[in-house]
Amino acid sequence: MDFIVPFIFYSIFGFIVGIFFYYHNRDRKFWTNDEWPTKFKQIITRTSVNVYFWPHFFIYLMIGLMIGSLAEAGAFFEVTSFLGIELGAYKAYWAGLIFGAGVFILLGGYVADRFGRKTSIIIATYGIVFASIIVGLLKETTFIPFSFTFSAIIIGFSFALIHPSLDSSLWADLASRDSIGRYYSLGFTSLALGVITGLVIGTIGFFEIQQQLIFNVFLLIVLAVLASLPLFWTSDSSPPLYFFLLMVINNAGLPIFHYDFKRDQNLKVDLPLISGALSAVGSFMLEATGEVGARLNLVRHGTNFILSDKGELGIIGAIFANKNDPELQGLLHKFLTRFEKRFSTKIESWTGNIREFDDAIHDAEDIFGPLVTIQEL
């Protein structure tokens, strides 16, 4: 009863504060969702989302396995203190984990920003493996208290690398501005599934505790490989993908459609000049190489890229971005294919009125929408 009363009080208080925050601090223009089934289907079929969902699951399966088995090991070996403070086996393990996370959390954020999310994830993954090796291979009684504590701190260190990257900023990097809740829900779904599965395996165990700890080493190495492999199929998400201007150019080098994803800012570029330049570069490469049928698909200037694609009717689609992202390139091809299918007649008989292609705005928002990250518009 002593627990229930304050619990109910703080729950009601938190609910009231949440409602207040909801109505007084939301910038509503960022929270207008598309229809759920369409957007959700687009999200879960994204390559980048799947690439990070499964490492998230496997890494937290590893953490859950270690938490369950090492807490059991602490009780078995009667390791009941942390830094000389008597806590009991389970609390001593958690104290070490939280200590490691607290000490290294600022470093984890720096590593994620300085060296990239992918680097942070890989270091954390093999940090968990190293933590299991420390306990699994040290059997001398005199070393067990030290190895138990050190292993818990290493798990905390790995968590300090994971939380700023895989748990937090990574999903914000991937999220479209109107779907960030759904991205985070996927991330924490994989987290929960991984931890629960790992805790079940680690707590129940298949062998006697000392054999289980050795078995964990081999199991975690396999899981570490499974967690790391998908990362090779995507570029690092730091910095987040950023793109703004989409153009369609006809075979005469004239812009027939453009769309700026920074809709609240006035676009100050000479569209005919840009389209003419891209067409000229393509013509030059044809003359220089003699490669008939080839297409210009990438122009780089410093840290900026122009990704392009050529359609069956000779039109060119181009989009300006901060990196050569394969997912963005694929969506550009999808947009151009849909554009040609919808406006094939108008493209062939175009008389100069670009308003004829205004309906393509809806296609642009539908196709590229899931990739429009949280950015200052």
Give the separation between CA 179 and CA 167, rounded to whole angstroms: 16
Angle, in degrees to the nearest 10, between helices 89-115 and 117-137: 150
* CATH 3.30.450.70 domain residues, the chain: 243-371
Within the chain, what is the greatest distance between any pair of CA atoms? 87
Give the separation between CA 165 and CA 180, rounded to whole angstroms: 15
Query: Which pTM does this prediction carry?
Result: 0.62
C-alpha distance from residue 174 to each of 161, 268, 270, 328 (Å): 18, 28, 31, 12
Distance of alpha carbon 63 from its chain centroid, rounded? Answer: 19
- Tokens standing for 299? 């122009």
> How high is the pLDDT of residue 336?
93
Give the separation between CA 178 and CA 158, rounded to whole angstroms: 31
- Its CATH architecture, for the domain 33-232, is Up-down Bundle (1.20)
Element at 366 (helix H, strand E): helix 360-368
Q: Could you tell me which CATH class the domain 243-371 is placed in?
A: alpha beta
| Residue 161 near residue 127, CB atoms below 8 Å | yes
Q: What share of the chain is helix, strand, coil (3-state, %, to 5)?
A: 65, 10, 25
- Say whether 298 sits in a helix, a strand or coil: strand
| Residue with the two structure tokens 């091809």 | 333
> How high is the pLDDT of residue 28?
46
> How high is the pLDDT of residue 2?
55
* CATH 1.20.1250.20 domain residues, the chain: 33-232
> How high is the pLDDT of residue 1?
47
> How high is the pLDDT of residue 328?
85
pLDDT-flagged residues of the chain (< 70): 1-7, 10, 18-39, 71, 74-77, 80-81, 88-90, 136-144, 176-178, 205-210, 233-240, 262-270, 282, 284-286, 289-297, 373-377
